[in-house]
């Protein structure tokens, strides 16, 4: 380590070098990354993000589905400054608490559906899902049902990157070489209408998914299954909107077989779909547990929350004599500064009626983006409100995908970036999940840039003989 280096005035390229020498980036192809170099982002305001050279981009992905109230919010900055001067952190084990942590608990219980009145805090989504599993296992052990351990998930589900949450994640291409605890998980078919419906009608497709789930429950045995995880709309797996009453019917199966229903609302809560919580208010399902992160603090500070029902709480808060201790917790569970930011963020979301704004402009965004399906390489445009995606195909008739090495999502992403828009490439997809401040002008600019980027990509593909 060179101690003097910190005093040297650094250039942009020096940061790239430092980054490459010392930082391991999440979800990254190290080889490609070192060819392309990193982008050093320096500033954000509203739905714009700026790099070190001052170039502005429309942030079409809200950081990573999370900066819901937009970048550079001064009220949040003031809240942070005030709370950190007062009390940034103290542990919350046993009887220690703080006003922000208690007040945020009250607020989360208020916005959460049904009997979800109790919160366990963490710092993100993976931790929230791990907590949900540990609470479910603990709960069934206390109920004298120690075999109820298995987890039902779906192909293409994304639930996080810790050892357990990654195993619950159903994106098999990400599992390689990690030896995750898959024996705990059973993966069901994703409700991916575009790819999995086949020759069935929509009704038949939903029947197929529900029947498959019931058959799996019977085969594994309800006495061996603890829980079912579901994102209301699957995010990183491809913005997959479940058809019809899929959620209601899978939820009914969980009730029938005493399986806890966990709604992973890490992306879908806090306004992204025009509601504070989507499982109940869009899909009419009351989960036994709900996991929040991202939009809960609009990404200003790491914060996550696992909500549990009165029923689960009643059981876990009365441990048996031989097991009197709930031995689960993190240094930063209920971090005072994080909770205060969460409270302020929710206050802003509610006060400025972000749900109303997204409900108004979401359908316009969907409709305008939907028009891009006129292009020969756009197989489907899907999603809801401010959670949208385009899936590219080599052949629209057969839905044949582009070969992975074509890197189609990345190609469009590169053009869009050059034109001043950040979108997310995921394989054959581009995802759009902007800050909820996105207005008509930002939507129109985004669509225009997407149009131009797709046209440039088609031109490249033709020139290279790839289409
Ligand atoms: N669940 C869902 C639905 C997510 O989209 C994510 C992150 N993209 C996670 C869980 C994991 O959250 P984190 O990265 O904060 O651990």
Q: What local confidence, expressed as pLDDT, does residue 21 receive?
A: 87
Domain containing 178 — which CATH number?
Answer: 3.40.640.10
Looking at residue 378, what DSSP letter applies? Answer: E
Is residue 18 a part of any domain in this protein?
no
CATH number, residue 388: 3.90.1150.10
Structural domain count of the chain: 2
Q: Is 13 among the domain residues?
A: no
Ligand 1 pocket, mutate which of 121, 266, 273 (most atoms under 8 A from CB): 266
Please name the helix (run of DSSP H) or strand (run of DSSP E) that holds residue 305, with its range, or none.
strand 304-309
Same domain, 289 and 408: no
In a domain, 145, yes or no: yes
Instruction: Identify whether residues 367 and 443 lie together within a single domain.
Output: yes
> Are residues 180 and 65 both part of a single domain?
no
Structure tokens at 155: 């192909």
Out of 131, 160, 273, 387, give the residue to mutate to test ligand 1, the one with the largest number of ligand atoms within 8 Å of its CB.
Answer: 160
- 386 lies in the same domain as 312: no
Task: State whether 244 and 280 are in the same domain.
Answer: yes
Instruction: Assess whether 63 and 84 both reside in one domain.
Output: no
Q: Is the CB of 368 under 6 A from ligand 1?
A: no
- 248 and 342 together in one domain: yes
382 C-alpha to center of ligand 1: Å? 20
- If asked whether residues 119 and 232 sit together in one domain, one would say yes
Closest ligand 1 atom, residue 236 Cα: 5
Does the CB atom of residue 236 touch ligand 1 within 6 A? Answer: yes
What's the pTM?
Answer: 0.96
The answer to whether position 381 is within a domain reads yes
Does residue 226 lie within any of the structural domains?
yes
CA of 159 to the centre of ligand 1 (A): 5
Work out the angle between the directed axes of helices 354-370 and 336-351 (0-180°, nearest 10): 70
ipTM of the complex: 0.99
pLDDT tens per residue, the chain (467 residues)?
A: 444 445 556 777 788 888 888 999 999 888 877 666 678 899 999 999 999 889 999 999 999 999 999 999 999 999 999 999 999 999 999 999 999 999 999 999 999 999 999 999 999 999 999 999 999 999 999 999 999 999 999 999 999 999 999 999 999 999 999 999 999 999 999 999 999 999 999 999 999 999 999 999 999 999 999 999 999 999 999 999 999 999 999 999 999 999 999 999 999 999 999 999 999 999 999 999 999 999 999 999 999 999 999 999 999 998 778 878 899 999 999 999 999 999 999 999 999 999 999 999 999 999 999 999 999 999 999 999 999 999 999 999 999 999 999 999 999 999 999 999 999 999 999 999 999 999 999 999 999 999 999 999 999 999 999 99
Contact call for residues 120 and 152 (beta carbons, < 8 A)? no
Q: Give yes or no for residue 305 CB within 6 A of ligand 1.
A: no
Contact 189, 154 (CB under 8 A): yes
Q: Are the C-beta atoms of 246 and 210 separated by less than 8 Å?
A: yes
- How far is 423 from 402, CA to CA, in rounded Å? 19
- The structure tokens listed for 315 are 């059981």
Protein residue closest via CA to atom 13 of ligand 1: 125
265 lines ligand 1 (CB under 6 A): no
Choosing from 332, 351, 370, the residue where a domain stops is 351
Residue range of the domain that includes 121: 75-351
Give the mutation target among 133, 164, 293, 424 for probing the ligand 1 site: most ligand atoms within 8 A of CB: 293
pLDDT at 8: 59
Residue 243 inside a domain? The answer is yes
Phi, psi (deg, nearest 5) at residue 243: -80, 150
Minimum-distance ligand 1 atom for the alpha carbon of 293: 15
Helix 440-463 vs helix 354-370: crossing angle, to nearest 10: 30
Å from CA of 129 to ligand 1 middle:
9
Edge-to-edge strands, sheet with 421-422:
41-45, 48-51, 56-59, 421-422
- Tell whether 286 and 172 lie within a shared domain: yes
351, 386, 414 - which closes a domain = 351
Q: Are residues 108 and 226 in the same domain?
A: yes
Query: For residue 168, how far is its CA from the centre of ligand 1 (angstroms)?
Result: 12
Ligand 1 atom having least distance to the Cα of 160: 11
Range 326-337 burial, b when 16+ CB lie within 10 A, else e: eeebbebbbbbb
Q: Are residues 396 and 425 in the same domain?
A: yes
Whether 34 is covered by a domain: the verdict is no
Task: Looking at the structure, tell me whether residues 397 and 309 fall in a common domain.
Answer: no
Last residue within a domain, chosen from 351, 383, 418: 351
For residue 20, being part of any structural domain is answered with no
């Amino acid at each position: 380590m060179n101690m003097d280096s910190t005093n040297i005035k650094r250039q942009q390229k020096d940061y790239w070098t430092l980054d490459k020498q010392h930082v391991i980036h999440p979800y990254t192809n190290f080889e490609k990354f070192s060819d392309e170099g990193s982008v050093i982002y320096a500033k954000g305001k509203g739905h714009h993000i700026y790099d070190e050279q001052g170039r502005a981009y429309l942030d079409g992905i809200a950081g990573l589905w999370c900066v819901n109230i937009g970048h550079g919010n001064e009220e949040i900055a003031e809240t942070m400054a005030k709370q950190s001067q007062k009390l940034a952190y103290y542990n919350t084990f046993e009887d220690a608490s703080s006003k922000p942590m208690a007040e945020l608990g009250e607020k989360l219980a208020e916005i959460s559906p049904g009997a979800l009145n109790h919160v366990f805090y963490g710092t993100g989504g993976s931790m929230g899902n791990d907590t949900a599993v540990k609470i479910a296992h603990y709960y069934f052990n206390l109920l004298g049902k120690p075999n109820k351990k298995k987890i039902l998930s779906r192909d293409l589900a994304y639930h996080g990157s810790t050892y357990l949450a990654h195993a619950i994640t159903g994106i098999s291409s990400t599992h390689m070489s990690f030896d995750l605890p898959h024996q705990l998980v059973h993966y069901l078919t994703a409700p991916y209408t575009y790819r999995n419906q086949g020759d069935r009608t929509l009704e038949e497709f939903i029947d197929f998914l529900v029947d498959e789930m019931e058959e799996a429950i019977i085969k594994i045995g309800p006495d061996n299954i603890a829980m079912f995880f579901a994102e209301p709309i699957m995010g990183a797996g491809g913005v997959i909107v479940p058809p019809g009453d899929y959620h209601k019917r899978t939820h009914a199966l969980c009730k029938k077989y005493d399986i806890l229903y966990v709604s992973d609302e890490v992306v879908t809560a806090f306004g992204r779909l025009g509601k504070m919580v989507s499982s109940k208010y869009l899909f009419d399902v009351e989960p036994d547990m709900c996991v929040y992160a991202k939009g809960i603090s609009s990404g200003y500070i790491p914060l996550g929350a696992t909500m549990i029902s009165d029923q689960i709480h009643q059981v876990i808060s009365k441990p048996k004599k031989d097991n009197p201790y709930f031995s689960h917790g993190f240094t930063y569970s209920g971090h005072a500064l994080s909770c205060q930011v969460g409270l302020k963020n929710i206050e802003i979301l509610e006060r400025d009626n972000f749900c109303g704004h997204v409900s108004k402009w979401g359908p316009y965004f969907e409709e305008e983006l939907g028009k891009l399906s006129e292009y020969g390489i756009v197989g489907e445009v899907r999603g809801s409100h401010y959670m949208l995606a385009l899936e590219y195909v080599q052949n629209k008739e057969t839905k044949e995908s582009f070969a992975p090495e074509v890197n189609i999502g990345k190609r469009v992403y590169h053009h869009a970036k050059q034109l001043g828009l950040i979108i997310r490439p995921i394989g054959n997809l581009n995802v759009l999940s902007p800050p909820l401040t996105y207005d008509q002008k930002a939507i129109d600019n985004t669509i225009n840039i997407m149009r131009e980027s797709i046209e440039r990509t088609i031109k490249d593909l033709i020139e290279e003989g790839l289409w």
